[in-house]
Amino acid sequence: MNWPDPQRPGEPAESSRPWHWVTRGEDGGLHPLPLGWNPHLRHWVAWDGATVSPEEAARRYGYIGPALTPLEVNARVVEALAAASPAEPPLERADEPPRGLAALAASALPPPPPKMVYKNKAVMMHVLIFLGTLFGTLFLLDQFGRLH
């Protein structure tokens, strides 16, 4: 199933790369998963440490391609953005909501953090709560002792 070299089914395209994307044969390629390739022992390693021989991998999985490193991913994103963006970006009107990458960037911003409570204030609040609980418990014990 889509293995790069028909003479070596179950082996990756670039054996020097440690991780590769494969897909299970029964799910039609909808759920890619990473598998590690050990070039010295010539077998696949799953996330749980289980090993899979190339023959079994050829039966069970379809090959998608090597997993990219973070530097390669960043370079491809920069290339895609450069190819997709026009020479001069169009002016956006203030009354229009952002679209495209601007909307994606706006939606990715985290909400502002809640008001911070400094550590010394938090410790003081916890001590006061403890003291209030202690004195309330002693008061109730004293009242309960007076009833009997």
- The tens-digit pLDDT sequence of the chain (148 residues) is 688 888 889 999 888 889 999 998 887 778 888 999 999 999 999 888 889 999 999 999 999 989 988 888 889 888 888 888 665 555 556 567 767 776 766 666 555 556 655 677 778 889 999 999 999 999 999 988 887 6
CB distance 43 to 53 below 8 Å = yes
**Phi, psi of 140, deg, nearest 5:** -65, -40
For tokens 């916890």, the residue is 126
Burial 16-42 (b: 16+ CB within 10 A, else e): ebbebbbbeeeeeeeeeeebbbeeeee
- What pLDDT score was predicted for residue 6? 85
For tokens 């390693």, the residue is 45
**Does an H or E element contain 141, and which?**
helix 119-147
- What pLDDT score was predicted for residue 146? 80
Q: Say which amino acid occupies 19.
A: W
Instruction: State the number of CA atoms in the 13 A half-sphere of 2 facing the CB.
Output: 13
> Global pTM?
0.52
Ranges of each domain in the chain: 1-85, 116-148
- What pLDDT score was predicted for residue 96? 72
CB distance 133 to 127 below 8 Å = no
- What pLDDT score was predicted for residue 93? 60
